[in-house]
Amino acid sequence: MPENPTRVRRDVGRYVNDALRDRYFATCDAVYAMGAPARSETDVETSFGTTHVYRYGPADPAAESRTPVVLIHGAGYCSAMWYPNTPALSAERPVYALDTPGDAGRSVHREPMWQPERAAQWLDEALDALGLDRVHLVGSSYGGWLVLNMAHRRPGRLASVTALDPGGLEKVGLRFFAWVFVSLFASFAPTALRPRLASWLEQPAIAVPELRKWSQAGARAFRIRRPAPLPLTEDALRSIRTPLSLIMGKRSLLVHPQRQLERVPRLIPGARAEIIAATGHGPQIDHPDLVNARMLSFMEDVDSLDPAGVKGAGDA
């Protein structure tokens, strides 16, 4: 019997309906407006669906030839989460922010890609379609797992990897899922309570109106259809030779920062690891000036040691 073309696949992320999707996109645009304006948007095709890409800066034409930055967001969100980071990063380098298929963005998910090799294949195909032969890859949370997985499986295009409070180092525990759900419910609290809850949960989305509406709309509109990623094995981490910077929040509930501060540099030669105080899972959101400076300094150091770092890159 032929497959019903209208049947909803259970292994592919989807929007509940068009009306909720469009309402969510309006909240996304309000968050994007808080960051640097995108120079362009484009869609590239991969084996797993259409990937929507935002291109930023730089303002200085001389910086166009610098190795670009590619940003991979966390689970359940889209590239709007990089609003505190796009102004500083795109002032120095070309920046590409990818909406991951399977998450609540403008990409279109058609085939499952949660398996590690498929995830690396998707990212490699997307970079290839953009004409990017060499990039500084940055990922947060689930995006951190994606970039660590890429460094292990397909490192050929990578000048460096920056992992921001990433998945991929430890099994995702109940405490993290509890924080996610409590944060979402707290966003519905009375206005007077929201700043206190935002501080207690270290979740700025609760207190910033644009972020609160964005997170609530995304939870209503989109259904993720993938399991939590398994951590990379120690052998997999030992295989990584791409320059790596690991930045964690001191009160992270996804990783145990002190444990990884010792473990990651021990397993990955030359890796940098740092803990940012007064933050949890979102150091680049809570302390953007500090983290942006750390990221740019790391990329500058990598490029200064590698002549390939001055090679140009394609434009979307």
| Residue (of 304, 276, 302, 305) closest to 135 by Cα position | 302
Report pLDDT digits (tens) over 263-284: 999 999 999 999 999 899 999 9
pLDDT at 308: 55
SS3 (DSSP) at 49: strand
Over 50: is that where the pLDDT of 309 sits? no
Q: Token digits for 174? A: 């109940």
Average pLDDT, the chain: 91
Buried b / exposed e over 149-183, threshold 16 CB at 10 Å, is: bbbbbbeebbbbbbbbbbbbbbebeeebeebbeeb
pLDDT in tens, 121-143: 999 999 999 999 999 999 999 99
Task: Look up the pTM and report it.
Answer: 0.92
Domain limits, the chain? 35-172+227-305
Tell me: the pLDDT tens digits for 104-125? 999 999 999 999 999 999 999 9
Query: What distances in angstroms separate CA 89 from CA 28, 97, 273, one per listed residue?
Result: 20, 11, 20
CATH annotation of 35-172+227-305: 3.40.50.1820
